[in-house]
Homo-oligomer: A and B are copies of this chain.
Amino acid sequence: MLKKYIIAIDLGGTNLKIALLDLNFRIKARQSFPTGRLKTKFKLIAKIKSSVTEILSAEKISRSEVLGIGIGVPGPVDYGSGKVHFFPNIPGWKDVALKSILERMIRLPVLIDNDANLMCLAEARLGAAKKSKNAVCLTLGTGVGAGLLINGDLYRGSGFAAGEIGHMPLNEEGPRCNCGGRACLERYIGNKEILKSAKKYFKRNITLEELSSLAKKGNKKAKELWYNVGIKLGIVLAGVVNLINPDRMVIGGGVADAGKILFSAVIQTIKERSMPVQARSVKVLKARLGSSAGLIGAAILLKEGLNK
């Protein structure tokens, strides 16, 4: 039977999203579940299976019309074998052969990649990095990660672990990082660090959303805080621009909502600190696909991956 659909799964630290897309990557149906309630990997995998069955039956689509399942996960995964190494924010997932488990359970082809790569793929095909040849697509959140587009294709690196911009050092010396390193960019501009600085500035707990909205209303402290985040991010990106010489730098994730003040600090820093040819080559843009990027990227992964 003609294959007309793709199932896309976006497994995040907060939500597990499952959707049905057509071959033009339009979302036809979707379900979402709080990840925290699926306490073990067995429960989570069972939920994936039951949700896929439910969606197909509600849409009156037979399994034979489905090309396969693309999945994005919040941590390092061996793209070749489909084995999850671990998830920094979900316990109990050490060395899980997720691809083969799901293929056996659901009897459809499965491809898995990490969330930053899928965001990059989605932005490259349908978003801010469309027509780009070489792009760096960042996601700013609890973690600071990136996907790299090289010669129009996702570049994964020799151990499928490329793109860890959050773990490039901002200084020779600095605070220890969970990754084992020191002075990693994430230790300065990860969500946790931003919230810590915000508490110092405002002498109370404050959410990222409030911090962004205050900055947009012109609050000086909030603007200064986002400006400093932008400068630190811009310094590391200036080095990445000199190394990779990309034509696009796409920034997404919750923190990117801080808006103009963050972006202008990043752009100014790249202009000041990158080399002239490299600085002229690159455009810094906001990600366009928002919170659906993960699902769309997972569907693109499956379609392009099966065609290879």
Q: Is there an interface contact between B278 and A180, defined as CB atoms closer than 8 Å? A: no
A106 within 8 A of B: no
A80 at the A/B interface (Cβ < 8 Å)?
Answer: no
Determine if A260 is an interface residue (Cβ-Cβ < 8 Å).
no
A281 lies within 8 A of B161 (CB): yes
A85 at the interface (CB under 8 A from B): yes
> Contact at B272–A167, with CB atoms within 8 Å?
no
Within 8 A of B (CB), among A142-200: 146, 148, 150-151, 155-165, 167-172, 179-182
Whether, in the assembled complex, A274 has its beta carbon less than 8 Å from a beta carbon of chain B, the answer is: yes
Which among A151, A162, A170, A238 has the highest number of chain B CB atoms within 10 Å? Answer: A162
Query: Is the CB of A273 closer than 8 A to any CB of chain B?
Result: yes
- A105 contacts the other chain (CB 8 A): no
A235 touches B169 (CB 8 A): yes
Decide yes or no whether A1 CB sits under 8 A from chain B: no
> Which residues of chain B are near A272, meaning CB under 8 Å?
180-181
Of A5-13, A24-32, A36-44, A239-247, the segment with at least 4 beta carbons within 8 Å of chain B is A239-247
Chain B residues near A148 (CB-CB < 8 A): 243
Query: Interface readout for A28-71 with B: 1 if CB under 8 Å, 0 if not?
Result: 00000000000000000000000000000000000000000000
Contacts from A to B (Cβ < 8 Å): 76, 85, 133-134, 146, 148, 150-151, 155-165, 167-172, 179-182, 232, 235-236, 238-240, 242-247, 272-278, 280-282
